[in-house]
């Protein structure tokens, strides 16, 4: 795929707007909005097989992230058709969508920060359940916690945070949880990719059975292309970019539509390359972003 041109969010939106059915390989079971850092979101279709494949991968990812049998998960999901709504759906439905594996056994309580802003006492019941795991962006979780305090809910302190959305400093979420694991949504993947307990960053799978191929546009190339729009940057295979930082480029095996060399606008640093575990990347905060959660409205997941 290295010879194919890069695909940008703008080009994808133009293609979908012009003829959304032309590029489809299989009939989609679901369309969802995928956030793109610093840009408008894009609509992505998912075939039924994409959802089943995501459930199988998500079971392992949730276990490695630290979800245990009996956990109570408070998921502050985005409103509307955002792909981030897949997380509570997958946690709740993974046992039904997959067979032959021990059950995940978690209970899920979904909330929306927007809904809670209009009716703060909706936080009282989920907070009374003493959730052990939180899922959501830092901005949404902090908004829900503030609404809960106003409504008189007990102080929330959970064991684990599965952080979606923009990368933020540890101090932002330190008062909510004991441990944090990052999740990363990539265009065309119905389930996010996750980190593992005790390790920083997100693991991306490699090998013939992996659902994606990843590359890196190094910072120097990214910077040159920013200064000169006529310059076409080059990318390294992620496996050959250990220690380097830049923009993540992905080709995702989506059954509904091919996602080839998509420029995610996610800045990452490659911190580990393992033949057996995959490639671990650290998400980098935008130095121009606020100290909190960045542009939470432009990047909701």
Predicted confidence (pLDDT) per residue in 237-274, tens digit: 999 999 999 999 999 999 999 899 999 999 999 999 99
- The answer to whether residues 261 and 252 touch, using CB atoms and an 8 Å cutoff, is no
* Model pLDDT for residues 144-202, shown as the tens digit of each residue: 999 999 999 988 889 999 998 877 887 778 888 999 999 999 999 999 999 998 888 99
Asked if the model's pLDDT at residue 289 lies above 80, the reply is: no
Which residue, among 280, 66, 262, has the nearest Cα to 163 in the 3D structure? 66
Instruction: List the alpha helices (DSSP H) in the chain.
Output: 9-18, 48-65, 86-97, 113-118, 124-128, 138-151, 170-173, 219-227
| pTM, rounded to two decimals | 0.88
d(CA 92, CA 187): 22
- The answer to whether residues 106 and 75 touch, using CB atoms and an 8 Å cutoff, is no
Specify the CATH number for 9-283; select among 1.10.510.10, 3.90.79.10, 3.40.50.12780, 3.40.50.9100. Answer: 3.40.50.12780
H or E element, residue 90: helix 86-97
Distance separating the N- and C-terminal Cα atoms of the chain: 28
Per-residue tokens: 127: 């907070």
- The answer to whether residues 29 and 37 touch, using CB atoms and an 8 Å cutoff, is no
Asked if the model's pLDDT at residue 225 lies above 90, the reply is: no
Q: Domain boundaries in the chain?
A: 9-283
pLDDT the model gives residue 297? 34
Residue 272 burial (C-beta neighbours within 10 Å; 0-12, 13-18, 19+):
middle
């Amino acid at each position: 795929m290295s010879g194919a041109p890069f695909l940008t969010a703008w080009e994808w939106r133009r293609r979908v707007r012009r003829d959304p059915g032309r590029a489809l390989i299989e009939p989609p079971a679901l369309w969802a909005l995928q956030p793109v850092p610093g840009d408008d979101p894009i609509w992505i279709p998912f075939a039924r097989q994409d959802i089943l494949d995501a459930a199988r991968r998500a079971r392992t990812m949730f276990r490695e992230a630290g979800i245990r049998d009996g956990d109570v998960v408070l998921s502050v999901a985005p409103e509307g058709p955002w792909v981030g709504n897949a997380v509570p759906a997958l946690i709740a439905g993974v046992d039904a969508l997959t067979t032959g594996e021990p059950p995940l056994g978690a209970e899920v309580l979904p909330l929306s920060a927007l809904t809670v802003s209009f009716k703060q006492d909706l936080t009282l019941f989920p907070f009374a359940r003493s959730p052990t795991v939180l899922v959501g962006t830092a901005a949404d979780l902090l908004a829900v916690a503030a609404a809960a305090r106003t409504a008189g809910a007990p102080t929330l302190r959970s064991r684990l945070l599965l952080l979606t959305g923009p990368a933020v400093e540890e101090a932002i979420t330190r008062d909510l949880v004991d441990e944090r694991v990052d999740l990363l949504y990539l265009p065309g993947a119905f389930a996010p990719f996750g980190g593992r307990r005790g390790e920083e960053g997100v693991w991306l799978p490699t090998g013939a059975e992996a659902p994606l191929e990843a590359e890196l546009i190094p910072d120097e190339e990214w910077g040159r292309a920013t200064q000169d729009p006529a310059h076409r940057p080059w990318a390294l295979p992620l496996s050959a970019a250990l220690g380097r930082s830049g923009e993540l480029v992905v080709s995702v095996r989506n059954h509904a539509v091919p996602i080839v060399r998509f420029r995610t606008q996610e800045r990452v640093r490659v911190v580990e390359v393992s033949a057996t575990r995959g490639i671990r990347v650290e998400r980098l905060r935008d130095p121009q972003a606020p100290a909190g959660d960045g542009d939470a409205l432009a990047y909701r997941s």
